[in-house]
Amino acid sequence: MVLLLLLVSPATAVVTTETAEMVTVTVSVENQDGEVVRNAELTATWENGSNAVTTASNGKAFVDVPKGTNVTLSFSHPDYIRNNPTVIKRASEQSVTIPVYQRGQLSVTVADETAPVANANVILRKDGRIAATGTTNDSGVFSSADIEQGLYTVSVVKPGYYRNTKTVRVDESAETRVVIERGTATLTVAVRDPHFSSPRPLSNATVTIKSIGQFQTLANGQAGVSVPVNTHFSIAVTKEEYDTVTETVRVRESNRRVNVSLSRTPSLTVNPLNRRVVAGESVIVEVTDEYNESVEGATVLLDDESVGTTGEDGQLTVSIDDPGDYTFVASTNGQESSPVTIEAISGEDATPTATATATETTTESPTPTETGVGSPGFTLLSALLALVSGIALLALRRQ
């Protein structure tokens, strides 16, 4: 038993938790005049850990933190404040000075040309960093919590209004007034079909902009409308035989163009080139997609049984052996066509199709002239006279 414990104990020691290496950060707290701040509470936090300390009479405190971690130092004091915590990246044995400021407060009143503006967004920045944000109340007023005293940039914006920014010095209690102005910009929605190498404009597509209305694209595939500035819009674009596309668009203070790609809804069409055939012959079946383009490799079903797949030209030749009605369906990539039915008839019932139809025309023939004995128009007397004339003519020539 003793031997077993001796063998197991080293292994157990290896499994116990490994203590992270700690380093000490020396923190000094000073006000804006360079004076030390005693009794300031500092809280250091990092992933899966924290440590709290208080500054001594010399304004310093020592904080133990894991080496190499990112540490956030938060500050608390009844007379001083910091808008943002201090961040130490990849902590090591080092000294850090935290500047703190006297507490201040700012009240912002927002109005347009006629009245106070409620629900306007107010942003306070000091040295480029956001110190406070909020919205105005029904009286058009926003009051910040305690913030550092000093110089601030106050930005005010509301949907439908141009942004206005001004600089304000904040002391223990400060007030300012910001006037904003209504404005509009042009939002152009350009709708294209990306299927083609050069995307084609889609006319007569319906563009629906929530809270604005519906518009139809023109021949160039575009629809333009005037909208309030600094506003987010939900846009839906629809067209028959095309998939619907929705987007959220933000229009700031200048004209905005949005390109929307609209593709046809995937579909298959099976098309027998003849809908009536003679039993014992074949029928060519063609399969096309939503763009009426040939589909290679589509499975063709004849009365729910596979009879082959289409070639590069999207066609398949299928033999029809017996008379009757037959239904074709095509499928590929999860798409299935609507069924199409053809009729096969027996050879005895087949009616030949004439290539041309002759039209009988009755034409009156002229009365024939007799050319021989017994023929109308040529008598025996005429024949004798002709013979006598011939003999006389021959006698004269001999003289």
Per-residue pLDDT at 13 exceeds 60: no
* Residue 381 located in a structural domain: no
pLDDT in tens, 50-97: 999 999 999 999 999 999 999 999 999 999 999 999 999 999 999 999
pLDDT in tens, 273-306: 999 999 999 999 999 999 999 999 999 999 999 9
Q: Are residues 26 and 92 in the same domain?
A: yes
**3-class DSSP string for the chain:** CHHHHHHHHHHHHHHCCCCCCEEEEEEEEECCCCCECCCCEEEEEECCEEEEEECCCCCEEEEEEECCCCEEEEEECCCEECCCCEEECCCCCEEEEEECEEEECEEEEEECCCCECCCCEEEEEECCEEEEEEECCCCCEEECCCEECEEEEEEEECCCECCEEEEEEECCCEEEEEECCECEEEEEEEEEECCCCCCEECCCCEEEECCCEEEECCCCCEEEEEEECCEEEEEEEECCCECCEEEEEEECCCCEEEEEECCECCCEEEEECCCEEECCEEEEEEEEECCCCECCCCEEEECCEEEEECCCCCEEEEEECCCEEEEEEEEECCEECCCEEEEEECHHHCCCCCCCCCCCCCCCCCCCCCCCCCCCCCCHHHHHHHHHHHHHHHHHHHC
Mean pLDDT of 1-18: 40
Last residue of a domain, one of 348, 367, 386: 348
And the tokens for 277?
Answer: 């055939």
Last residue of a domain, one of 101, 133, 167: 101
Q: Are residues 82 and 33 in the same domain?
A: yes
Q: Are residues 282 and 337 in the same domain?
A: yes
Per-residue pLDDT at 386 exceeds 70: no
Per-residue pLDDT at 399 exceeds 50: no
Query: Is residue 311 very low, low, confident or very high in pLDDT (cuts 50, 70, 90)?
Result: very high
Per-residue pLDDT at 371 exceeds 70: no
How far apart are the C-alpha atoms of 126 and 174, rounded to whole Å? Answer: 15
Q: Are residues 144 and 166 in the same domain?
A: yes
* Residue 250 located in a structural domain: yes
* Residue 34 located in a structural domain: yes
50-64, 175-189, 357-371, range with the lowest pLDDT: 357-371
Q: Are residues 254 and 276 in the same domain?
A: no
pLDDT in tens, 233-249: 999 999 999 999 999 99
Query: Is residue 390 very low, low, confident or very high in pLDDT (cuts 50, 70, 90)?
Result: low
Per-residue pLDDT at 307 exceeds 60: yes
Give the percent of the chain with pLDDT over 90: 80
Q: Are residues 285 and 333 in the same domain?
A: yes
**Domain that residue 63 falls in:** 21-101
Please report the pLDDT score of residue 20 as a whole number. Answer: 78
* Residue 371 located in a structural domain: no
Average predicted confidence (pLDDT) for the chain? 87
Give the percent of the chain with pLDDT over 70: 82
24-33, 80-89, 236-245, 382-391, range with the lowest pLDDT: 382-391
44-48, 154-158, 385-389, range with the lowest pLDDT: 385-389
Query: Is residue 351 very low, low, confident or very high in pLDDT (cuts 50, 70, 90)?
Result: low
12-16, 164-168, 277-281, 318-322, range with the lowest pLDDT: 12-16
Please report the pLDDT score of residue 96 as a whole number. Answer: 95
Q: Identify which has the larger pLDDT, 15 or 143.
A: 143
49-79: b or e for each residue (b if 16 or more CB lie within 10 Å)? eebebebeeebbbebebbeebebebebebee
Please report the pLDDT score of residue 375 as a whole number. Answer: 43
Q: What is the CATH number of the domain that holds 87?
A: 2.60.40.10
- Based on the structure, what is the number of domains in the chain? 4
* Residue 228 located in a structural domain: yes
Q: Are residues 293 and 320 in the same domain?
A: yes
Q: Are residues 87 and 109 in the same domain?
A: no
Last residue of a domain, one of 179, 213, 230: 179
Q: Are residues 167 and 129 in the same domain?
A: yes
* Residue 361 located in a structural domain: no
Q: Are residues 204 and 158 in the same domain?
A: no
Q: Are residues 189 and 173 in the same domain?
A: no
Please report the pLDDT score of residue 350 as a whole number. Answer: 62
* Residue 387 located in a structural domain: no
* Residue 13 located in a structural domain: no
